[in-house]
Structure 1
Amino acid sequence: MTIKNKYKPIIGLPTCIKNIDDQRFHVVGEKYLISIIKAMGGIPIIFPSIANLTDQQRILNSIDGILFTGSLSNVHPANYNKTLDSKSLLTDPDRDSTTLPLIRSAISCGKPILCICRGMQELNVAFGGTLFQYLPNIPGRMDHDVDRSLPVSIQYTARHSISLKPDSLLSSLYKQKGEPMVNSLHSQGVDKLGDGLITEAIASDGQIEAIKYKNSERFALGVQWHPEWQVRNNPFYLSIFHSFLNSIQP
């Protein structure tokens, strides 16, 4: 994809909460920051997941777009009227209370958003969708996660193909032959699709792999895989970031 926009956008990223030595830290994976810099020529700005102490409208006014990142944590099922299936499920309520209303506000005001892994699940839940809490327990679904003891470079290798919906945004970006191969590092997935969302891609087991907000005036895409990983080495992944960039108006 040709980069039409030479503007260096400011891209906001919400943090995850991580407890280190009995203290709470706000963190963002470096690979997301690097992808914004290398794939978009952008400037990443991290903002804290403290919804009750931050002015989200001021945040939106000060940035050009938002990247909702993946995370080891999961959206708490209380946000889609379910209970925890497992007490061992890692959640991050502070991130939930920040990102879910922020996604709705961003789309309402036409701010471009790219939602990756947990971010895609947040996009779905923000509009009333639900999630499968553990895909291996769902009949017919394959295990979409990976052995986390493996080297990181192995964890992020392509694991399965996806089928792109005809006339979708992603199908317009994919220029290679055959079906795209993507990495897969998630144990949860979209169940009921949220209001206003449409499916962009599915895996061979029928699991939704990408979604888009249908009526958004700007870019509002969620992908379940991790296109940020070594983004410049994968033309399809890179085209997603370029499309995100081209949707931003300085």
Structure 2
Amino acid sequence: MSDASAARAPLVWVVASHRELQNPAGHTQQYTVLDQGGQRTVLNMGLQPVCYPRVPPERLEGLLATVDGILLGGSDTNVHPRHFGEAPARGEFQFDEERDALAQPLIRMAVARGVPVLGFCRGSHDLNVAMGGSLHQWLREVPGMLQHHEEPDETLDEAYVERHFVTCTPGGALERITRMGRFPVSSLHSQGVKVLGQDLVAEAHSDDGLVEAFRWHDEGVFAWGFQFHPEWGWRWHPAYGRIMNAYVRACWKRMAERTGVQQLPLQPIVA
């Protein structure tokens, strides 16, 4: 194998977010940012994260053809509710319409072309809305809901600790992937699936009935949304590790199809 072949790894397009942040001088500026947990995880699992922010529509298909997976991570912003026919429910909501403008058509195009898609937290909302679904805009006002959000005074590690359990659909794809019917998950969100998008299938629910995991109906296309964060704790949480492992394998498979070259992963994939 040549040095160039040995260095080849699946390319994962990490969809960027756009935020107004304060610089050290106290001035606010616009920044393009990437989900740190997600990009580090795919890198540590042998994939190569890349990013193409603010892609004009006419370039989308060409750039999609150069990658082997799409990753949509979490963010403090929300998908704008106009994409599912509603007005914002609360004045303090923050939106990222530049992300919406890229993510919505990119997801639909990736699914149609068989490029693996993985979304967690806000990323799962991107996927659901792209397929015509809707969201609960403020779960804290929905009767009977568990606490799905973190507390303001929690440390980062405390915020990502398992907060409740999810139950997989018996005999479903997630149960087969994780080899578990029920497991604990993180929970850091105030929105969630209200109506699943067209051709999406629920694969896990929390005890209050909220959809926590879903997928594209055709299992031959890896396109999954997770309300929780499998990219955090993937090294030790058995369900998280197996979920990320399934995505990694789908990206290697896609690279083989795209390049015509069958290659082994650059490093062992977790069991």
**TM-score past 0.5 threshold:** yes
Q: TM-score, normalised by structure 1?
A: 0.92
In the TM superposition, what is the alpha-carbon distance from 1:175 to its structure 2 partner?
3.1
Taking the aligned partners of 1:112 and 1:141, their CA distance within structure 2 comes to 31
Which shows bigger deviation, 216-225 or 180-189? Answer: 216-225
Contact preservation (8 Å) 1:143, 1:187:
no
Partner SS state of residue 140, structure 1: coil
Which shows bigger deviation, 135-144 or 204-213? Answer: 135-144
Q: Specify which of 222, 231, 235 is matched with residue 232 of structure 1.
A: 235
Partner SS state of residue 247, structure 1: helix
**Residue by residue, what CA displacement relative to the aligned partner does 1:113-133 show, whole Å, maximum 9, x if unpaired?**
111111111111111111000
Q: Which amino acid aligns with 1:131?
A: L
Q: What do you get for the CA RMSD once the two structures are aligned? A: 1.7
Contact preservation (8 Å) 1:51, 1:94:
no
Q: Specify which of 102, 106, 116 is matched with residue 106 of structure 2.
A: 102
Match of 1:29 in 2: 35
In the TM superposition, what is the alpha-carbon distance from 1:53 to its structure 2 partner?
6.9
User: Number of residue pairs matched?
Assistant: 242
Match of 2:167 in 1: 163
For structure 2, the 5+ residue unaligned runs are 1-7, 22-26, 257-271
Q: Which amino acid aligns with 1:123?
A: L
In the TM superposition, what is the alpha-carbon distance from 1:13 to its structure 2 partner?
0.5
Q: Which amino acid aligns with 2:250?
A: S
Counting aligned pairs with the same residue, the percent is 33
Match of 2:11 in 1: 10
Larger radius of gyration: 2
In the TM superposition, what is the alpha-carbon distance from 1:98 to its structure 2 partner?
0.6
Taking the aligned partners of 1:143 and 1:137, their CA distance within structure 2 comes to 11
Q: Specify which of 51, 66, 70 is matched with residue 46 of structure 1.
A: 51
Kindly report structure 1 stretches of 4+ aligned residues shifted beyond 3 Å: 51-54
Partner SS state of residue 62, structure 1: coil
Partner SS state of residue 114, structure 1: strand
For structure 1, the 5+ residue unaligned runs are 1-6
Taking the aligned partners of 2:166 and 2:183, their CA distance within structure 1 comes to 6
Taking the aligned partners of 1:243 and 1:154, their CA distance within structure 2 comes to 27
Taking the aligned partners of 2:162 and 2:232, their CA distance within structure 1 comes to 11
In the TM superposition, what is the alpha-carbon distance from 1:148 to its structure 2 partner?
3.2
Q: TM-score, normalised by structure 2?
A: 0.85
**1:72-111 equivalence runs, <5 A:** 72-111=76-115
Taking the aligned partners of 2:118 and 2:209, their CA distance within structure 1 comes to 22
Taking the aligned partners of 1:167 and 1:67, their CA distance within structure 2 comes to 26
**Relative contact order (alpha carbons < 8 A, sep ≥ 6): 1 or 2 greater?**
1
In the TM superposition, what is the alpha-carbon distance from 1:52 to its structure 2 partner?
3.2
Match of 1:4 in 2: none
Contact preservation (8 Å) 2:17, 2:32:
yes
Taking the aligned partners of 2:62 and 2:142, their CA distance within structure 1 comes to 41
Q: Specify which of 139, 146, 150 is matched with residue 142 of structure 1.
A: 146
Match of 2:20 in 1: 19
Question: Is 1:133 aligned to 2:137, yes or no?
Answer: yes
Taking the aligned partners of 2:57 and 2:133, their CA distance within structure 1 comes to 27
In the TM superposition, what is the alpha-carbon distance from 1:51 to its structure 2 partner?
4.0
Taking the aligned partners of 2:216 and 2:108, their CA distance within structure 1 comes to 10
In the TM superposition, what is the alpha-carbon distance from 1:108 to its structure 2 partner?
0.5
In the TM superposition, what is the alpha-carbon distance from 1:245 to its structure 2 partner?
1.6
Partner SS state of residue 65, structure 2: helix
Q: Which amino acid aligns with 1:11?
A: V
